[in-house]
Structures are given as structure tokens and as C-alpha cells.
Structure 1
Amino acid sequence: MPFLRFPDASMRRLLSVTCGLFLMLPAAVHAGYRVEIDAPGSLEPLLASYLEIMKWRDYPEMTTEQLERLYQGIPADVQSLTATQGYFRPEVQTHWQHGESGGEDVISITVSDGPPVLVGSVDLTLAGAIEDDPNLERRRQRLYRVWTLNDGDRFTQSGWDDSKKAALLTLLARRYPTAKLVSSEALIDPASGNARLSARWDSGPAYFFGPLKVKGLYNYPPAIVERLAGFHEGDVYSQRALLDFQSALQNTPYFSSVFVRLDSDPDTAAAAPVEVDLTEGPQQKVSFGLGYSTNTGERGEVSWRNVNLFQRGWILDAGVRLESKEQRAGAELTLPLDSKGYVWNGVARYERSDIQGLDTSLYRYAVSRSRNRNNIEMSTGLTYIGERARISGQPDSNTQALMLGWSWSQRAVDNPLNPRRGYTWRSELSGAAKGVLSDTSFVRGYAKGVLYIPFSPRWGWSILRGEVGEVFASDGDQVPNDVLFRTGGAGSVRGYAYQSLGVEEGGAVLGGRVLGVASAEYLYPVTPKWAAAVFVDAGNAARRWQDFRFAVGYGVGARWASPVGPLGLDLAYGVDARQARLHFTLDVSF
């Protein structure tokens, strides 16, 4: 039996049965009809959606002659649809039960899929400049790895289309951005149930990055754009590198719109220009904010940002934030990415808080440099803290520390605002030496991890969170409280007041030298934007591990996946506190 050629656009079937059918003037309108389909597996919904006789059920001007033509075309219509799923020889039985006294007709369709057509061979070929590629064999093997229709698999139209698309994307991703599919063929032998597949791609020329051509940059140094490119002239073209470059530009505060593309002219493939179209955003902005948190109470904030200080692209953020329990005022200066890939940052800030009987005021001055690669940020810096702590009925305590610090953080989640899969991790290590603007020598270590575990769209996801920290000091009383640990409240151990877990002294809660927190939370989706939560938290801070004891809290809550991130409302019971607490946070900026 000769082979059938299965074309690429097989789903676009010729509507031979209905072509011109409904241009005819009806002789008499036929009463309505109902179609009953009995077919195995996934074929039934396929037939119910795409059979021609199903599409015209509600046509009000249907005549008996037109319905007869649709009925006669059912077997051919079924075969063309089941062929897309690999069944080229279905058995089709139809029955037309006429309604009595002008009643509704019932058309029954029974389908047996028959033996499927299986892939017998796959032949993938490459042409063009890729034939001179020293990695040709490796690239050919990669095509076969992403090809989803392999020998012995049931032939399907979707698998055929997806395989060709995946193979092309593999070529486009690196070196060959103008690659294209030039021919493809699926030879089907229904008698033997065998499919022979072949496809051929032309890679086009090999492309290498050339110079940057930047448009729309008027007020900033060109180095701001150039240093964000993760490639250099002469590097092999990479789609990922181009997308990362655009993303890096979009994440800066300088531009309101960014568009990056490669000039794909074959004549410039050896040094293809990268075109960057920019629209600069406003250089200065004043913002106001209002909010409320069960941790720190009502909140009001005013801030000012200048993203082009001294016309050098330096970013200055200054502002005042007033909360019921905490207040702060200060400024932060951030420099653009330097030639070695680092961002330098400086902070000067005054902070005051009155929480759990501990009244503190401190000045913080810091300078740091950080580097971000592959969602991993590493930072080193120097921080000076001068702190005054006051407990009612006791003399003030004045401490200071000059700390050299290092931090490492990674964020690998599916959605940066509302994650459901992945993890985040942060580690910190810092220390001070007595006599070097420090009252005592100490080393501080801290780590926090969050794991997001999805189950299914129906059954939701879980969040596991853990924190651990310790301060090693020769004289713990001379370590600023800001360096020590307290916990409790939203985001830590729910069921307890904000920072109420620590070292109790003189009616106040002071920071401890050791910290441990663990949390498990399960979220069940109620709607696409809302989820119900149940959780249990445990944690505490203490002078030493021998004194450490977990304080447990558990409860229920609700989550809203807002455009700015998850907002939560929790009702938690603190076992040690023997009372329930509501935890809530709301921020509005304008």
C-alpha cells in the first residue's frame, strides 16, 4: 500500500462536507438534533469539540438536506481527527434516530480507535554554516534529545509539531539565530501502522556579537549600559545572553522602557550589532506611603530618590519612616556597576525603637560592595554601629562596634512576587575586634532558608522556613543589641508579640546570643488569587544553647496573591503566651 503524506498543517482540514453547504437556500427548516458520542480515552473530547456535525448544532436555518450531508460526512470527519492522535483506521458506526412529531433527532456516533500508527524511523538533517561547525555531531545529538517522537512512540500531530519546534529553538538559542525549518515530512503507512519522519533545517550563518548601538541615552554615561552586557564583541551569539542583558537594563531605575535585539543581517553575522532602544524615565521621584503592621503598628513614610546624582548615574535614596514602635531617617547612595562587575553602596541612618521594654537609639554607617551572578549575590562590607539602650529603672547602656561582614544569598523561585516552587537562602558572617571602634571582640553567624514545595494546582503548596544564628563574644554585655537576636511576630514565630522572644531582664526582652526558628505552612488554593493556610511555628532566642527552648505557635490564615506580593492575615495561638494573636501587614505607596 502506498504511503500517505501527512502534511504539516493537517489540523487545517478541508471542510469538504460543509463547503458551500450553508450558502444554499433552505427548502425547509429541520428540527433540532442532539449528538451522542461514544469513543475511547481522549478521542471523545476531541470529537466533541471538532466534528463538523457538532459545530452546527445550533444553526437555526438547518435543513434536512444539509443535515443529511453532515451525517454522511461523519466517517471521513472522524478519521481525519483521529489521525492527529495516531489512529488512521478507526471503526465508525453511526445511527440517526428521527424524532417523532417534530421532536429532536438523536445522532449516535460510536468510534473504535483501532491500532495506532507508531514511529518507525526518524531522520534529522542539518544544512548551512553548521556543517562546518566543529561541534556539529554534538548539535545533531542535541536535536535528537529534544525530539519527543522517538522510535516506537505513537504518532500524534501535537508531538510532530512540538518536536520540530523544540529542535528549531535549540538551534536558535546559540550561534544560529536565523535558523529555519526548510522541509519536513511524515510518511504514514496505515496498513503496517508505521510512520517515517524526516526534517531538515538550514542553520544560516554563524553569528557573533558585534558593537552595541544604543539609542535614547541622553543623560547617563554610556558605561551604565555597556557594563550590564554580559558579553563582549567577538563572543558567540547567545539568546540567553541577549535576554539577560535586556532584563538587567529593565531592572535598573534609569529607564522606563528597554528593547534589545540583534541585527540579523547575514552580511554582518561575523560582528552582528546589538541594537538597544531606551526610553529614559524620570530622574527624581518623591513618594509617600501609609501602612499598618501588627508587628510595629501604624506606618507613615516619605522618601526622595534621585537616580542621576551629579549626572553620573549615582542613585541617592533619602527618607523618613515613622512607625508606632520604630522610626528611622537616613540616606543611601548606590553607584552603578563598575568595570569589575561590582556595585558599591553607602548608608548613613539613624534608627530608634521601643519594643518589649527595650528603648534603643543607634547610628548606622556602612559601606559595601556586592556582585550578582546567576541569582547569587555576594556582598562584603564594613558597618559601624553606635547604640544607646535603655531599660526602665536601669542606667543606659552605650555600645559600639565596627564590623567587617560577608553575606551570600540565592533566590531560585518560579515567581519572584508569589513563589510556589523553589527556594531562597541567605548566609551572613561578620565580626569585630576590641579596640578598633568596638567595645568587645565577637563573631556573628546567621543563616535563613525558605523552601517552596508545590503539590498540584488543586492541592496547593507548602512552605518550610528555618533560621539559625549565634554570636560568639568574649563579653556579651558589650555587644550592641542590634547585633543580637530576638524573634516573634509575623514572619517569624506567630502567636507571639513582635520580638517578644529573647532574654528577659528587668521587665524587658533583650537580644540573645543564639537563635533558632522553624516553620511549616500548608496553603490550599481557594481561587486563583486566594489561598487558605494552616501553619505551625517554633523558635526562640537565648543567651546560650543550654538555655534555649522552643516557643510554639500554630494557627490558620488567608493569603492574597496581590500584584506587589503575597498579603497575609493570620490568627495564631501562642502555646507559651496562652493567647491568640492576629498578624497582618498592609502597605500602600503613592
Structure 2
Amino acid sequence: MHSCGVKSLYRTIQRILILLILSGSSALAGEQRPQLLLHGVSGELDENIRSLVDVSRYQCELPSWRFKRIQERTEKDTNKALRALGYYNAKIEVDRTNDNQCWSMEILVTAGKQVTIETVNIVVTGGLENTQGMQQFWKNLPVQTGSALNHADYEKIKLDISSLASQYGYFSGEFTTRELRIDRQKNLAFIELKFRAGERTKIGAIQLEQSQFKDKFINKYLTIKEGDEFNSAKLTEQQSALNDSGYFSVVNIEVDRKASKDETIPIKITLQPRKRHAYRIGLGASTNEGPRVSFKFEDRWLNRRAHSYILNTSWSPIVAETGINYTIPLGNAGTHKLDLGLGFKDEDVDASNSQTTKLAAKLTRVRSNGWKLISSIEFLRENFSTADSNDITQLVTPGIGYSKSVRDNPLFPRSGWRLSTNLKLASRDFFSDINLAQLTGSAKIVRPVNNNRILARAGAGFSEVDEFSKLPASLRFFAGGDNSVRGFDYKSLGPVDSNGEVTGGKNFLTGSLEYEHSIKKNWGLAIFVDAGNSFNNFNDYEIKKSVGIGGRFHSPIGPIRLDFAHDLDASGSDIRLHLSMGPDL
């Protein structure tokens, strides 16, 4: 019995293997499939018919009764594809042809004229018609009287109205009339849609699930409140505000429509904290400062009131600095904060040497139009030496600044601009060694030119000081370097003393125009012209000019620039190399 069972099992396996081999051979031999031969149409009509009529799914060998059904189905689907694009009086001829290996379905189409829309009557009532989204809908309405009929446009209208109703909380809204009538004899279409929005839902109780901060602080970031009219776009803005705060790794907003009652809907916001501590070691280089190493430690939320601090330190052959900044959030949604900072800086360049201690308090407000207002007061003590001075100066400088930046991409903007201005004052009557009024400003714009870019920047600074020799080196103006006038050394331009040594100036004006040509996805070539200088009065303003070319690499951490610039005032053909990193805006 045992031997017979083994033989029986062996024969069964043998048969299965033979069947598998035969089926595999059949699959390999069955590469031939029926084809669709389409005549009389092209473009969108051709694509639409082929998307509905697929004869390749059939076998080459079929009984005759199957062919008749396939032929009927083909004619029906072709007519459906044509009507979807507004061709209601088309003539269709379907025939099957054979060759030695397989058959083909041949379709001859005479499309005729496309149906024209005679009337469009769309009525929306119940409050939805007054929303901003609905106003935009009317501006972008895809159908007009006299335009050609396309069923996709008609369906899009219905979908857009339903989507807007859901966005604005009209969850009980419905179409009372949905009609697309076709007069085939006159080749005309008549559209009539009526939508009744019903009652608008309001935001109900807002449940916060988090243990990281005090609710009083989180409430400052809430842009929605109980009783507001429902708007899903406002919920998206709320999620962005919480994400942009930098405090949370996960922000989840749930809308429970099943739990809605009395035309209100509850909202649940779940927050999970980011990692509290962060460390970063950075390596960089520029021709202004040479190689640079930096270290940053951040405590993102020191307490339940979301106070935070950042410790920064960096070193290069030219500049060494260390600073700590303590931030206290104020106001709503992160638009108001107080920064307290202490910093030490040692800078040694050819034109000056300085050791600076700075203690500052800055109050920042971000207005609804995006402008940032910074009010500040700084204590500065600087031990400095220049060609004309060697002194220690102490200043207490109140200041105010405005700035705004608009860009379409933070790392590689193709379009955007940045504008900033700052005013600081000092008085001998207010703990300062000199009287000073200093105004600075800068502007930069980026604009696309096909696949390339134009970048323009300008900078200016003006000072009134009663004793220039005691003006610290850090508050004097110099020009030259990677981000000033290329073709010249860092801080090598400005007024000079009787020995030709640069002393720095009370004022400065600089500008640059650059064209960047894209050559690969992350690579580009640039040509540029720079001009400007620092000076003490306009009669002595000597504009220094340079031109150059450069390479651009848009790395994941920001653009890297390698420029070769030539001083147009130089008698020779010297070329100066400039390497710089950092965002364009």
C-alpha cells in the first residue's frame, strides 16, 4: 500500500509539472493580442476612445457569438467616449478584421460638430454664495454660454460646489436641480444647477490633548475658537501655525462630524512635543573669513511657558564669537516675542581689530501683512583699533527696525524679495561716549527669466556722529568682500588716512546685478557686476566697480557660490576668488 501511494503521488506531481510547462509555453506563445485600429479622430478624442475601448484583454481565438457582443460593446463605448467630449451626432462604423495570427477591431469615426452650450443657469443659496471661495468659483467657471460642451467641465462644477459646501461647513447642502439637457437636432446643451446650502455648522468645543505646556500658552497659538463658522481652510491655517511654532513633532486636528449636534462640530487637537534638546556642529568656509567651525546648542522649551534659549559659538581665522539668546514668547500665534542676548565677538581684519561685548533686549512683532517690527536697546562695549584710532567706547543704543521677506522657496527662490531698514541712536546724556544717529537699509530681489534668474541687491548706510575717532569699528562702514563689492578683499574699501590705510566711513552705498543661467538641475553659471564704496561725505564718494563670472551649486543645505571677480579700476588683469554660502533671501 505504501509503495502504491508513492507511485500515485509521483504520477500526480508529474502531471502538474506537465500542465505548468504547457501553460507557460502557451503564455509565451500568446504574446499576440487583438488590436484596435482607430480612424477619423486624433488628439483628445483618440485618447478618450482608447481609454474606454480595450480589445487587448480578449483572446485571439473566440467563438463567433462573442465577437458580436464585443462589436456591440465597442460601438457603445466609442459613442460614450465621444459624447463625454460633446459629440452627440457622430457616425460610428465598427468592423472586425482578421489576419493569420489574430483579429483587430477597426473603428471609423465621423465626429461631426461639437455640441454648443446655449444656456448656463447655476443658482446657489443659503449663505454659501457669499463666501470668498464661491466668489473665486464664479471667476473660474469652466463653462460659458457659447462654449463647447465637455461633460468633465459639468461634473467639475458639481464637484466644486459640493467641495465648497463641505469646506465652509454646509454639510446638509444638496442639489435640488441637476440637469444637463441635450437638443441633438439643434446640437445645443442647456445646463441648470440649483444648490441649497442649508444651515452653516459652527465650531463647537475645542479639546486640546497635550502635556508639554500650560493651556494658557497653547491658547496663544489657537487661531480658531468655539463659535467660529466652520472653514476647513482655517483649520489648515491652524495646523500650520502650530507646526511653524517649532515646538511640536506631531500636530493632528480631528473633525468628528458624527459627534456634531445643534449645528456645531467638536474639534480635537493632539500635540506631541519635539525633542527638547538639539545640538549641531557646523563646518563652512568663505573668502571673507576663511574656514569656519560652529557649535549650536538649543533648549527648545525650558519650561511650561515655552521659554527657550540658544547657545552659539563659532571660530574662524578672522572672527571668533560666542553668544546666548533667551526667548520669551508673547502675544498670539508666535507673532510677538522678547529676546534677551549676551554676546562676545573678536574680529581681526587688515583695516581694524575689535573685541566687542554686547548685551541686548529685542521686542519683535510680526504684523498681519508680514512686516516684522523690532524694537531694541543694546549695551555695547568695544575695544578697537583702526588706522586712525585706538580706543574703548561704550554705547547704549535704542533702535527700531522693519523687515520683510517674500519667497517662493526658502533654499532656492525663483521669485521673491527682501527689504530691511534699521535706525539706532546713542547720546552722551544716556550712558554713551558719543552722540550717534545711524540709519541702514538693504534690499534684494530675485526674478525668474524662463528657467534662469536675475538677482539684484542694494545696501546703504548713513551716520551722524560728533566724534568719529571714538566710533567703534563694528559701527563703521567698510566695503569689499563676498557680499559687498566682489573683486576686493573683505572690508578693504573705504576712506583712508594720510598713509593710505583704510579707516572706515560714516556712510556706504553698494549695489549688484547678477544673471544666473541654469545648466543642470542643481547647477548654474552666473555673470555679475558689483559697485559701491564707503565714504564720509558725498564729495569723496569714489565708486569701485567689478565684474565677474561664477558657478552655483544648489545643495540641500543652501546655495554654494564660487565667483571670479575682476576690479575694473585695476591696471592689471588680477582675478580675485570668492567663496560663499547661504540663502539668497
Q: Sort the TM-score into its range (normalised by shorter chain).
A: 0.7 to 0.9
**Bigger Cα displacement from structure 2, 64-73 vs 80-89:** 64-73
**Bigger Cα displacement from structure 2, 362-371 vs 232-241:** 232-241
The aligned counterpart of 2:119 is 121
Mapped partners of 2:437, 2:111: distance in 1: 72
- 1:336 is paired with a residue whose SS is strand
The aligned counterpart of 1:460 is 452
Tell me, yes or no, if the aligned pair for 2:60 and 2:103 is still in contact at 8 Å: no
The aligned counterpart of 1:356 is 350
1:97-246 paired onto structure 2 within 5 Å: 114-126=112-124, 130=126, 143-174=137-168, 176=170, 184-201=178-195, 203=197, 205-215=199-209, 217-246=210-239
Tell me, yes or no, if the aligned pair for 2:351 and 2:492 is still in contact at 8 Å: no
From 429, 432, 438, the equivalent of 1:438 is 432
1:49-448 paired onto structure 2 within 5 Å: 50=51, 52=53, 56=56, 62=60, 79-89=79-89, 114-126=112-124, 130=126, 143-174=137-168, 176=170, 184-201=178-195, 203=197, 205-215=199-209, 217-265=210-258, 267-268=260-261, 272-338=265-331, 342-372=336-366, 373-391=368-386, 396-448=390-442
- CA shift for structure 1 position 354: 1.5
Mapped partners of 2:131, 2:315: distance in 1: 64
The aligned counterpart of 2:569 is 576
Are 2:472 and 1:472 aligned? no
Mapped partners of 1:137, 1:310: distance in 2: 42
- CA shift for structure 1 position 307: 2.1
Mapped partners of 1:37, 1:323: distance in 2: 73
- 1:243 is paired with a residue whose SS is helix
Post-superposition CA distance 1:389-436 (Å, at most 9, x none): 2236x6513223222222222222222332212322222222222331
Structure 2 portions without partners, runs of 5+: 1-25
Overall identity of the aligned pairs, in %: 21
The aligned counterpart of 2:16 is none
Tell me, yes or no, if the aligned pair for 1:123 and 1:197 is still in contact at 8 Å: yes
Change (3 A) 1:272 1:84: same
Mapped partners of 1:230, 1:579: distance in 2: 58
Change (3 A) 1:107 1:168: closer
From 508, 512, 534, the equivalent of 2:505 is 512
Change (3 A) 1:461 1:67: farther
Mapped partners of 2:544, 2:67: distance in 1: 74
- CA shift for structure 1 position 542: 2.0
- CA shift for structure 1 position 321: 0.8
From 470, 486, 494, the equivalent of 2:486 is 494
The aligned counterpart of 1:3 is none
From 509, 518, 524, the equivalent of 1:531 is 524
Q: Select the structure that is richer in helix.
A: 2
Post-superposition CA distance 1:502-526 (Å, at most 9, x none): 3344565444332323333333333
- CA shift for structure 1 position 165: 4.2
1:540-559 paired onto structure 2 within 5 Å: 540-559=533-552
Change (3 A) 1:137 1:385: closer
Mapped partners of 1:44, 1:554: distance in 2: 55
Mapped partners of 1:112, 1:326: distance in 2: 79
**Which AA in structure 2 matches 1:325?**
I
- 2:474 is paired with a residue whose SS is coil
Q: How many residues end up aligned between the 2 structures?
A: 550
Mapped partners of 1:310, 1:27: distance in 2: 73
Change (3 A) 1:30 1:335: closer
TM-score between the two structures when normalised by the length of structure 1: 0.79
Mapped partners of 2:108, 2:507: distance in 1: 72
- CA shift for structure 1 position 190: 4.2
Tell me, yes or no, if the aligned pair for 1:404 and 1:431 is still in contact at 8 Å: yes
- CA shift for structure 1 position 292: 1.6
Tell me, yes or no, if the aligned pair for 1:30 and 1:63 is still in contact at 8 Å: no
Are 2:475 and 1:483 aligned? yes
- CA shift for structure 1 position 116: 2.7
From 491, 495, 504, the equivalent of 1:503 is 495
